[in-house]
Structure 1
Amino acid sequence: MSIKLFAPNDTAILLIDHQVGTMSWARSAEFDDIKLRALALARAAKALDIPLVLTSSMEDQPQGPLLAEFADIAPEEFAARIRRTGAVNALDDPNFAAAVKATERSNLIIAGVTNDVCTVHPTLTALAQGHTVQVVADAGASITKDADEIALRRMERAGADITSTNQVLAELAVDWSSTNGQRILPIMFDLIPS
């Protein structure tokens, strides 16, 4: 079985619903850890010129606003974020689907704030559409550890690769001495627990 590694020139990063309220419902990991990893993925997208698509759901409801730090890291993408009006599956929203299609990338790195809701449904849809998908499991969580494990197993059975933030960043860097490697190293150092 051969596995094709993702490269910056054939990949897009989708960050789904990293909103202040929704993040407080994800209990199988710490809020600050999820936030740190989601922001690291956004930083990597900008550092490596990878298309970044942000989306939120019902920001004026208990889900709350998208993390404000995204505006500092990726101001254009933050301003252009797809504000869904309630579609559970982000890819059911025509604006989000169009934004993903516009990246013209077949490889998708997906992280949603809740793996058992925000991540699982668009992942299954993207796989059915023929995309190759890596789910960054530690940039999200679920309401319980059991719910998280069940969602990750479901996505993996459907054909998604389950990965971590460190794994995917190292894969995109390829070589630490390269320009891309040098751009990714500081982001990875920020992920090391103090």
Structure 2
Amino acid sequence: MAAAASSTTLKPSASAATISGFRRLPLSTTFGVTTLSFRHRRDQPRRFVVLSMDAKPTILVAEKLGEAGVNLLKEFANVDCSYNLSPEELCTKISLCDALIVRSGTKVNREVFESSGGRLKVVGRAGVGIDNVDLAAATEHGCLVVNAPTANTVAAAEHGIALLTAMARNIAQADASVKAG
């Protein structure tokens, strides 16, 4: 087992070694992850995971996100912020990316997953629903789809309280009266 000087070898726990999906997990060499087999028992190989931090993943941010969030991503990944991409442009760019972050405007369909050539491993939806992501195609291509279901709960609650206050104080009528003179 020859590992680079900047690599760390992690040994899975006994329970992790027995998980059947552990050996079948598709790992991207872009993230610098390689699996090596060693004998655990005579009849079964034992898996070790070697993580190398030399290679940074590439994340495509296809829609506008907050600057603080993008800066967090830039600390550990190469971030490509390309907004308002056509479906053809998205399919072209996705072949160079390991992860994709979208909001509700970008449709991530089967063509996007096929264009990635198996490199795309994660689609992150910055919002509640995942109706703009083809989950069947993501599953077929071994791509994880995640979302942020509670990301806007505080803003939604604040907006609801503001609407109730506006209704109780007749803000709409007062606004119309001021505009009418």
TM-score using structure 1 length: 0.35
- Name the structure where helix makes up a greater proportion of residues: 1
- Name the structure where strand makes up a greater proportion of residues: 2
Identify which of structures 1 and 2 has the higher relative contact order when contacts are C-alpha pairs closer than 8 Å and 6+ apart: 1
Larger Rg: 2
